[in-house]
A and B are shown apart, each in its own frame.
Chain A
């Protein structure tokens, strides 16, 4: 893992001291709320319905056990003993008091964490594949370039006041687990025929009010040029992006308005200019310095054959089910990737209690090289676990109520905080997700349904990624009453697509039945080997529409 150097340490501690002064001046009345609000947002402090909310950055979703223990402590000490992992791989605390936040930030800084650039019109936390360093077909660890981008973008003076927020995601495998095509910039790491590493660059993807799949403008940007290319892209956006209308200010609108070809041309002109100045060549030695932080842990030479594991799978059906859905192959023989579901049946997606965070950190210390990942699907992940330890890991997770065997299944839903917490929301998300998960709790049924992603957002801002859910649910407000609009056929992976609206919205009382009808329709018409998305892509929206609105 990356460790702070002296500059990182100084940057973070100075920022905490600065914010401590700002909070004190706000509480004494010296600063007005209008003056203070942009300052608190720059430090990840939002005001939500019930309280302040603090968004803690988890760079590219990687945490050490020490950091996760600290997050558990902080949630216990300054909050109500739980936190919410988000689709940006961050952690949100729902109840911190403003007066306590400087002390909280001190504690975060003690484990090399902070809340900088988790809000505001700047380059936000870089996200990546939670299987980084463990995936079987990875070109290189995507966290190396993610960390380089993090360092380059932190407090970048030119890009601290962009027209709107800016999100970058990095992926290094064919199977995109980082949703790069729905980010402002998506980076796909590639290897060419000569064995050199380069970057495919996608721009102008995004969800929210105007969902758009990104366009490829860079086919193979060389490693030493990546920062120059990103700088060129950001500069074109910063100069040409709209500042007159917040809803039209994201880079996706610019790319949409001028077209991908024109965007590519403008970026290439600027890229040429940046290269001529020669200031932003990424030196090999710096890449190697960062790479060393992400060196693989000390894997043991192990056989991939594990008779004890096979016997346990044969003996214990619950364990077998968990292995089937939550465990994935690892690139090193004898190891596996363990997904820790934060989607217990009938509970809020993405929430973890302090005790659960401590339990995962303990398990990581004992069985997974002290490393934890946050997945953008709001689960946790232990990237490197010996296959022979899987049973012990499962038992330890079970003891902490963390062994729900549903990763990738219908109850593994994404949901934003929604109207239960969020000031922007129009309708509740969590309670809808809870009821859907209760409806489909039967594991046999879940396996019969197969891979199916249901994503729910409580407003058009789409923090719950509803547009790219196989089934997407968007909460809307109609005269103070919650309604839910359904989209079908969205996808966030390498086949990224925005879902199609199926028809008029459903009431809160109707929505779970509507999902049930969609699933039953799919089960009726699917062909062998199809998952929901395959069936939908084959038949389109019509059969679902007919069933859903037959009675209306």
Chain B
């Protein structure tokens, strides 16, 4: 699997795509999967990140709800959790084009 975080990342969250429709989801503190990054559980430090990923993968096959589970780097800001990379920002908030529809129309400010 491609690497979407980096060694020294301080904060990380776990993401996946929902099996039935492919929608981007995030692992929550209650072991659920939410469409909102703001509901994601954020792990601080390497070990907590690995533990969070293991939890995400534990819910992978048995629950059979999501696919392509991986860790990615986030930042904690005044406005909430933000993805560090362009790629994960686009996954979170939709394409930066066709701003007339979808998440990219609904989530204000993320792509600015």
Interface on A for B, CB 8 Å cutoff?
26-29, 32-33, 47-52, 80-82, 95, 97-99, 348, 351, 419-421, 427-428, 430-431, 434, 480-482
Q: Is the CB of B21 within 8 A of A51?
A: yes
Q: Is the interface of B mostly helix, strand, loop or mixed?
A: loop
Q: Is the CB of B20 within 8 A of A97?
A: yes
Q: Which residue of B lies closest to A426 (CB)?
A: B87
Q: Is the CB of B20 within 8 A of A431?
A: no
Q: Within the assembled complex, what's the spacing in Å between the Cα atoms of A47 and B24?
A: 11
Q: Known: A29-B64, A32-B61. Is A47-B87 also a contact (CB below 8 A)?
A: no
Interface on B for A, CB 8 Å cutoff?
17, 19-24, 61, 64, 67-68, 84-87, 90-91, 94-98, 101-103
B91 partner residues in chain A, CB cutoff 8 A: 49-50
B84 partner residues in chain A, CB cutoff 8 A: 480
B17 partner residues in chain A, CB cutoff 8 A: 47, 51
Q: Is the CB of A420 within 8 A of B23?
A: no
Q: Which 6 A-B pairs have the closest CB atoms?
A: A97-B21, A420-B95, A51-B22, A29-B64, A52-B22, A480-B85
Q: Is the CB of A50 within 8 A of B19?
A: no
Q: Which of A28, A33, A48, A428 is close to B67, meaning CB atoms less than 8 Å apart?
A: A33
A27 partner residues in chain B, CB cutoff 8 A: 19-20, 64
What's the least CB distance linking A415 to chain B, in Å? 10
* Additional A-B contact list (10), CB under 8 Å, known A51-B23, A348-B98: A27-B64, A47-B22, A47-B68, A48-B22, A50-B22, A97-B20, A97-B21, A98-B22, A419-B86, A481-B86
Q: Within the assembled complex, what's the spacing in Å between the Cα atoms of A168 and B34?
A: 44
A29 partner residues in chain B, CB cutoff 8 A: 61, 64
Q: Is the CB of A419 within 8 A of B20?
A: no
Q: Within the assembled complex, what's the spacing in Å between the Cα atoms of A95 and B103?
A: 12
Q: Within the assembled complex, what's the spacing in Å between the Cα atoms of A434 and B91?
A: 20
What's the least CB distance linking A342 to chain B, in Å? 14
What's the least CB distance linking B103 to chain A, in Å? 8
What's the least CB distance linking B74 to chain A, in Å? 12
Q: Known: A49-B87, A80-B102, A480-B86. Is A434-B97 also a contact (CB below 8 A)?
A: yes
Q: Which residue of B lies closest to A81 (CB)?
A: B101
B102 partner residues in chain A, CB cutoff 8 A: 80, 95
Q: Which residue of B lies closest to A28 (CB)?
A: B64
What's the least CB distance linking A438 to chain B, in Å? 13
What's the least CB distance linking B96 to chain A, in Å? 5
B67 partner residues in chain A, CB cutoff 8 A: 33, 47
Q: Is the CB of B24 within 8 A of A98?
A: no
B103 partner residues in chain A, CB cutoff 8 A: 50
Q: Which residue of B lies closest to A26 (CB)?
A: B19
Q: Is the CB of A50 within 8 A of B21?
A: no
- Can you list 11 A-B pairs with a CB-CB distance of less than 8 A? A33-B19, A49-B91, A50-B24, A50-B91, A50-B95, A51-B17, A82-B98, A348-B98, A420-B95, A480-B84, A482-B86
Q: Is the CB of B20 within 8 A of A98?
A: yes
Q: Is the CB of B21 within 8 A of A430?
A: no
A81 partner residues in chain B, CB cutoff 8 A: 101
A80 partner residues in chain B, CB cutoff 8 A: 101-102
Q: Within the assembled complex, what's the spacing in Å between the Cα atoms of A430 and B21?
A: 24
Q: Is the CB of B19 within 8 A of A421?
A: no
Q: Is the CB of B95 within 8 A of A421?
A: yes
Q: Within the assembled complex, what's the spacing in Å between the Cα atoms of A82 and B22?
A: 18
Q: Which residue of A lies closest to B62 (CB)?
A: A29
Q: Within the assembled complex, what's the spacing in Å between the Cα atoms of A230 and B19?
A: 40
Q: Which residue of A lies closest to B103 (CB)?
A: A50
Q: Within the assembled complex, what's the spacing in Å between the Cα atoms of A27 and B66?
A: 10
What's the least CB distance linking B9 to chain A, in Å? 11
What's the least CB distance linking A180 to chain B, in Å? 31
Q: Known: A47-B68, A50-B23, A97-B20. Is A431-B86 also a contact (CB below 8 A)?
A: no
Q: Known: A32-B61, A97-B20. Is A420-B90 also a contact (CB below 8 A)?
A: yes
Q: Within the assembled complex, what's the spacing in Å between the Cα atoms of A183 and B69?
A: 35
Residue among A348, A420, A427 with the highest chain B CB neighbour number at 10 A:
A420
Q: Is the CB of B87 within 8 A of A419?
A: yes
Q: Within the assembled complex, what's the spacing in Å between the Cα atoms of A95 and B104?
A: 14
Q: Is the CB of A98 within 8 A of B21?
A: yes
Q: Is the CB of B90 within 8 A of A419?
A: yes
What's the least CB distance linking B57 to chain A, in Å? 12
